[in-house]
Structure 1
Amino acid sequence: MSLLAWSDRLSVNIAEIDKQHHKLVDMINELHDAMKSGKAENVLMRIVKEMKEYAATHFALEERYMKGNHYPDYAVHKTEHDKFVAKVVQVESDCNKGKCAMSMDILSFLSSWLVNHIKGTDKKYGPFLNNCGIH
């Protein structure tokens, strides 16, 4: 059973962004599944690295849409993205040094941040960008 299930409550009504959010949810579920089967150590570093890289691509798309359409909360939104990337970079660095936090802590951080960010911050730009013709 997945930790996170994709649903309309996570949709921002922009197809490309929803597809990317779904991919991030899939990554979190992959880590969760590995933890349940006792294989978290085998996939944790790969998932953290993939999430860091994919999040950077995803954030760049969101930021391009927001900046290009003069989204009024762009600066606040970008700050949230920057803080997330910094945290994931720190987790990756700690893991590379053998000081990796419990995978459950990492999983909890990733899943709660993603859901809270989508449902809180991202949902705000959806209608704005829809009104700009982005769907």
Structure 2
Amino acid sequence: MPIMNWDKSLDIGVKAMNDEHHGLLDIMNQIYDAHAAGKQGATINALVAKLGEACTEHFAHEEAYMQRIGYPGFTNHKALHTSLLTRYGDFAARIRAAGGIASDDFFQFLKFWLSSHIKGIDTKYAAHATSVGR
């Protein structure tokens, strides 16, 4: 059972970013499903590391895209990315320290992060992209 399913409310209208968001959700669901199946240790740690790498790569792509379209909220958006990666890193460190056991707080963070960041924050640069014809 996934932590969250992709739906139209997560579609920001920028295909490349939608594809990457979908990929992040897939990895989040892999972590959740492994956790629900009782997996821990190296399996969970590897998936958590994979998601961290995917997020770092996605944020770099998203930031480059925002710069290309001249998004005026770039500086604030980039700061949010930095904050999210810091919080994610803290969760990842706690999971490693716990022997690859993820907490409910971690999954709540993931779900909130994905839905609120995409729906509340990413839609702003997507709207700007539309307004400038990109």
Range class of TM-score, shorter chain: 0.7 to 0.9
**Contact 1:27 1:51 survives alignment (8 Å):** yes
- Bigger shift: residues 45-54 or 87-96: 87-96
List aligned pairs for 1:1-135, cutoff 5 A: 1-98=1-98, 102-134=102-134
**Cα shift readout 1:23-59 (whole Å, capped 9, x = no counterpart):** 1111111112112211144532112211111111111
Structure 1 spans left out of the alignment, 5+ residues: none
**Contact 2:20 2:58 survives alignment (8 Å):** yes
Deviation at 1:16, TM superposition (A): 0.6
Q: Distance in 1 between matches of 2:22 and 2:40?
A: 21
Amino acid at match of 1:36: A
Structure 2 spans left out of the alignment, 5+ residues: none
TM-score (norm 2): 0.88
What's the % identity of the aligned pairs?
A: 30
Deviation at 1:101, TM superposition (A): 7.1
Aligned residues: 134
RMSD: 1.9
**Cα shift readout 1:95-133 (whole Å, capped 9, x = no counterpart):** 344487743221111121111100100011112112334
Deviation at 1:21, TM superposition (A): 0.3
